[in-house]
Amino acid sequence: MRILAIDVGGSHVKMLVTGQTVPIKIVSGPTMTARQMVRGVKQAVAAWPFDAVSIGYPGVVLHGKPVSEPRNLGAGWVGFNFSRAFGCPVKIINDAAMQALGSYRGGRMLFLGLGTGLGSAFIVDGVLEPMELAHLPYLHGRTYEEYVGEGGLERLGPKKWQHHVLDVVALLKAALEAEDVVVGGGNARRLRQLPAGVRRGSNAYAFAGGFRMWTSPAGPRPRAASA
């Protein structure tokens, strides 16, 4: 089966199909609707045949369907029929969860995605649980996301931002008793050093997670249904 994995972000939509090695990306932005995303992806991958689609969605997904509109894109995502639009089966999962799925090596793994906000997911013995840790209170009435997301980086500067990232990683690792922590997302590259038990993620893991959703029955079992 040829899987098209799509990682939807606030500035770009990135995609890769089984058997290819170089992703394609298109510009997204605050006005992109679900229909526009599908149209742009289909045009970009016209030379890549595929049988099924995995979508990493930048928002809350329940039972394989978006339940809230994305914060950094246009409207029209909730209730959209992606399977009809692509003409094949589609599975949707939170974008952080899809990258976590591709990062997983076993045991208890926490994934934290440093980007515009803070994505999070937890895998225990192969069972994937998308999480919404970003909006929990952290310091001085502000949330984790307000310190380690893009806004925190701009407000605090790189040095203080990195200090808080490492503090948040340590707190959540201890609270969840994680054996392995993966820090991914676009801003993970800004971290100069990582403590023991913490490794750097990669966008490539998102595509691996998208493929794994369909092709690895012995691997992690994401709580996502077809959409």
Report the domain count for the chain. 2
Q: Is the dihedral of CA 31, 32, 33, 36 positive or negative?
A: positive
Same domain, 13 and 82: yes
Q: Examine residue 220 and state whether it is found in any structural domain, yes or no.
A: no
Q: Examine residue 92 and state whether it is found in any structural domain, yes or no.
A: yes
Q: What is the DSSP code (8-state) at residue 226?
A: B
* pLDDT of res. 225: 44
Instruction: List, in sequence order, every residue forming a beta bridge with 142; answer none if it has no partner.
Output: 139
Same domain, 89 and 127: no
Q: Which two tokens stand for residue 72?
A: 């950094």
pTM strictly above 0.75: yes
CA 119 – CA 131 distance, rounded (Å): 8
- pLDDT category, 226, cuts 50, 70, 90? very low
Q: What is the pLDDT of residues 90-125, one digit of tens each?
A: 999 999 999 999 999 999 999 999 988 899 999 999
Contact 58, 8 (CB under 8 A): yes
Q: How far apart are the first and last CA of the chain?
A: 18
Same domain, 113 and 193: yes
Same domain, 39 and 114: no
Range of the domain at 7: 3-97+206-214
The arrangement of strands across the sheet holding 180-184 comes to 198-200, 180-184, 108-114, 118-124, 127-131, 221-222
Contact 115, 186 (CB under 8 A): yes
- Packed helices 203-215 and 95-103: angle between N→C axes, nearest 10 degrees: 80
Same domain, 93 and 109: no
Q: What is the dihedral of CA 8, 104, 63, 226, to 10 degrees?
A: 70
* pLDDT of res. 220: 52
